[in-house]
Amino acid sequence: MMKRLSIVILLIITACSNDGTNRNPYLQEIGFRFEANLNLPSYSPLTNTGSAIYIPSDLAGTRGVFVINSGFDQFRAFEGSCPNHAPNDCSTMELDGQIATCSCDDYRYSLFTGQLLNTPEDENRYYDMLEYRTSFSGGSVIISN
């Protein structure tokens, strides 16, 4: 019995691996919690599917947060700092409809998926946007990390 238990424990230990982690070296994951009340004019665009807003950095995230209504009371929130640059003067991205654009290198990211849309054709590693947790309750979107 002890031999079987040892084998099971060994299998569990070897099955756990951290090799698949692709930690972004440019962005720190800071802790915050922000509530966007959709009844307020600043956040009311989020009542429409496909609409996105930018929440400034003094309220949430490192360089602010982009939030999009992806439909059926589901929301996605992403860091406003370009994930392929250390935070600097040009790394705060700009909102263009459903796209976030980094002015450093004109990288374009989908706010529905957070993916880099115009990946350069080279051997370098490129990161997608850092996503934050969201929940919808009582007419408010809660964003946290």
DSSP 5-56: HHHHHHHHHHH---TT----SS------EEEEETTSTTTGGGGSTT-EEEE-
Structural tokens at position 118? 């115009």
Other beta carbons less than 10 A from residue 29's beta carbon? 12
Q: What's the confidence (pLDDT) of residue 4?
A: 76
Whether pTM > 0.85 for this model: the answer is no
Two tokens, residue 9? 């424990």
Give per-residue pLDDT as tens, 24-54.
888 888 899 999 999 999 999 999 999 999 9
Measured CA to CA, the distance from residue 4 to residue 145 in angstroms comes to: 41
How sure is the predictor about 2, in pLDDT bands with cuts at 50, 70 and 90? confident
**Does the structure show a pLDDT above 70 at 18?**
no
At the topology level of CATH, where does 33-144 sit?
Answer: Rieske Iron-sulfur Protein (2.102.10)
Strand partners, 54: 66
The full set of domain ranges for the chain reads 33-144
- Residue 32: C-alpha distances to residues 20, 123, 124 (Å): 26, 34, 31
Unique residue bearing structure tokens 């691996």: 17
Write out the H or E segment, with its range, that includes residue 4. Answer: helix 2-15
Q: Are 35 and 142 in contact (CB under 8 A)?
A: yes
Task: Please report which confidence band the pLDDT of residue 79 belongs to, taking 50, 70 and 90 as the band edges.
Answer: very high
| pLDDT for position 17 | 57
Sign of the four-CA dihedral 47, 30, 95, 55: positive
